[in-house]
Amino acid sequence: MQGPNNKKTASPPEQNKNNSKESREKSSSLSSQKRFLLAESLLAESQRKFFSREKYVAKRSFRERFGLYTGEEHSAIKVTLRLTESVLQAILPWVILWGGYGFLISLLNYYGHISKVNADIKAIPNIVISLNIVLSLLLIFRTNTAHDRFWEARKLWGGMVNTVRNLTRRISIVIQERQPEDRTEKEAMLRLVVAFAVAMKLHLRREPVNSELACLISSSKYEALQDVNHPPLQIAYWIGDYFQHQHERECIDVIELHALHLLLDEMVNLLGGCERILKTPVPLVYTITLKMLLTFYFLLLPWELVSGLTWWTGPILAFLSCILLGIDEIGAEIEEPFGHDANDLPLDAICKTMLRNTYDLCSSCPIN
């Protein structure tokens, strides 16, 4: 019999179970505490980086933003000169012309001829004020229209980058490799997808097929592209033919074949969107009207300014013409954003990005 003071003790298995449970709870509590401390330290580090004034200001500099945009590294001064070089070259003769015209008006004012004309024609100030309003509206319309075309082109090329990434990824994954040469053929097809984007860039710039495509396609295909009128469409045909051939070999099913053709169709649609921008310029009547009003404005403006500025009329007129003509020239430059100007889209950098992504994909793609 058990005495009244004898207590019931737990069996060894139950005691071990309780001890292991307590140790697991302690370890999980410690691990969660470590994770919390790690997350807190990462947030603190992120906060320090965010409030670091030097890094925050550097990201807004011309050098950093231009490098992020084009992938090129230049100083702030060189970036400014490069972006304004094409505009200044186009307007510099006109700026010199209008500055000389302002000096001529100052010379006539020195000999007393301008005061007689201003006394006879008292409506010149009112005409200048009216032209200020009209020119402001036209320049705003010009700039907004050109920027809309530029931004639309950038969205189309951004869509091209995403579509190329999706298409090359899907080709790498879903198309089976049953023979050793299938791997080589697949890699050639991945390069051909990038060749479509490069051929699209050359087509939009109205340039012939060159060595940029020679390193992406076979010599026979390169020779064939020399004789076609639309190289991107020919490359799209070759890609689609490859998909159909792999379906006939039963390397892909019909669902994946349909998905691949949809991505290829999207690439052709993006090409058509860029061609729409290229072949539909801003109506010339707006450009002609703006040029005529600017000329008339610069002819009348020094007659009003000369009475107060005297010999400073020429430099001030040159400065104002540089601003107004520069805005007009910027609109003319970016309304067709596929060229080689510094303010056009960095199509070379975009194509290099697609090529680099495809190369990384080929390097990391396992052999099926």
Amino acid at 209: V
Q: Are 144 and 138 in contact (CB under 8 A)?
A: no
Considering the chain, what percentage of its residues have pLDDT values greater than 70? 76
Q: Residue 252 corresponds to which tokens in the numbers above? A: 């892909």
Q: Residue 323 corresponds to which tokens in the numbers above? A: 């601003």
Instruction: For residue range 144-154, list pLDDT tens digits in order.
Output: 999 999 999 99
Q: Are 193 and 160 in contact (CB under 8 A)?
A: no
Burial class (CB in 10 A: 0-12, 13-18, 19+), 243: buried
pLDDT surpassing 60 at residue 15: no
Q: Are 225 and 209 in contact (CB under 8 A)?
A: yes
pLDDT band for position 33 (50/70/90)?
Answer: low
What is the reported pLDDT for 19? 54
Whole-angstrom Cα distance, residue 245 to residue 250?
9
Of residues 355 and 8, the one with the higher pLDDT is 355
Q: Which own/partner contact pairs does 287-295 have at CB distance under 8 Å and 24+ positions apart? A: 287/332, 289/138, 290/135, 290/138, 290/139, 290/142, 290/328, 291/328, 293/131, 293/134, 293/135, 293/138, 294/135, 294/324, 294/325, 294/328
Instruction: For residue range 184-228, list pLDDT tens digits in order.
Output: 899 999 999 999 999 999 999 999 999 899 989 999 999 999 989
pLDDT surpassing 60 at residue 5: no
What is the reported pLDDT for 84? 81
Amino acid at 242: Y
Distances (CA, A) of 125 to 115, 170, 185, 295, 324: 14, 67, 74, 16, 19
What is the reported pLDDT for 144? 92
Which pTM was predicted?
A: 0.78
Burial class (CB in 10 A: 0-12, 13-18, 19+), 73: exposed
pLDDT band for position 2 (50/70/90)?
Answer: very low
Average pLDDT, the chain: 82
Q: Point out the least confidently predicted range of 64-78, 86-100, 269-283.
A: 64-78
Q: Are 170 and 256 in contact (CB under 8 A)?
A: yes
Burial class (CB in 10 A: 0-12, 13-18, 19+), 183: middle
pLDDT surpassing 80 at residue 6: no
What is the reported pLDDT for 125? 79
Average pLDDT score over residue span 18-44: 55
Instruction: For residue range 70-95, list pLDDT tens digits in order.
Output: 666 766 677 677 778 888 888 999 99
Radius of gyration of the chain (CA): 34
Instruction: For residue range 301-353, list pLDDT tens digits in order.
Output: 988 888 888 899 999 999 999 999 999 999 888 998 999 888 889 999 999 99
Distances (CA, A) of 344 to 77, 204, 340, 366: 19, 12, 6, 39
